[in-house]
Structure formats: C-alpha cells, structure tokens
Amino acid sequence: MFYALSWSVMLLLLALWSLAAWAFHSIAAWIPPELDLAFTSMQSVLSPALEAALNQAPSLADGLSATVWAVWGVGSALIVILGLVCSRLITVLRRRSSTRSFKALQWTP
C-alpha cells in the first residue's frame, strides 16, 4: 500500500514537472505581435545593441528549447531517484517494524 502511495506521488510530481516545462517552453517561445511592433518602433530610439539582440531572438529560442528539455530530463531523473529512495525507505521501515513485532510475540519462559 505504501509503495503504491509513494509511486503515485512520484508520478504526480513527474506530471506537474512535465506540465511546468511544457508551459514554460510554450510561453517563452511565443512573442505577441504587439510586442514585436513595439520593439520595432523603439529600435530607432534605442542603441544598436537592442537591434542585435532582436536579430538573434530566433536563434535564442532554439537554444532555450534545448535548455528547457535538458532541465526537464534532469528533473525527471531526480524525481525517479526520489521514488527509488522512498521505496527503499519503506522497505527498511517495514523490516524494522516486523522485527520488533516478531520479538514481542516470542515467548520466553
């Protein structure tokens, strides 16, 4: 029972982690047209550094995508490792409690 509960929690964490990564990826890659128009109109006023950054925005989005999924992979691996640690902890605690209850049941004359 405890194993099912701990792995259910781990799967829930993995689902939430995946949802967060997916949401961040879709929000970070999306630039509204109004914002693009505002940046274009401000280009003439601001320094050439802003223009260079806007020209590199598509290539930055590709790197961001790879970074988001790499972080997702590391986080997913950590969640699975946490699940394995929880399973081992449950096993150890069940063995200790069964040993104590076995000693309590022994009859000594």
Instruction: Give per-residue pLDDT as tens, 57-94.
Output: 666 666 667 777 888 889 999 999 999 999 999 888 88
Alpha helices in 1-109 (DSSP H): 2-29, 33-42, 48-55, 57-105
Give residue 77's pLDDT: 92
Average pLDDT over residues 51-58: 66
Share of the chain above pLDDT 70, in %: 59
Per the prediction, the chain carries an average pLDDT of 76
- Cα separation of 102 and 65, whole Å? 55
Residue 98 has pLDDT above 70, yes or no: yes
- Cα separation of 34 and 73, whole Å? 34
Under 8 Å between Cβ of 17 and 79: yes
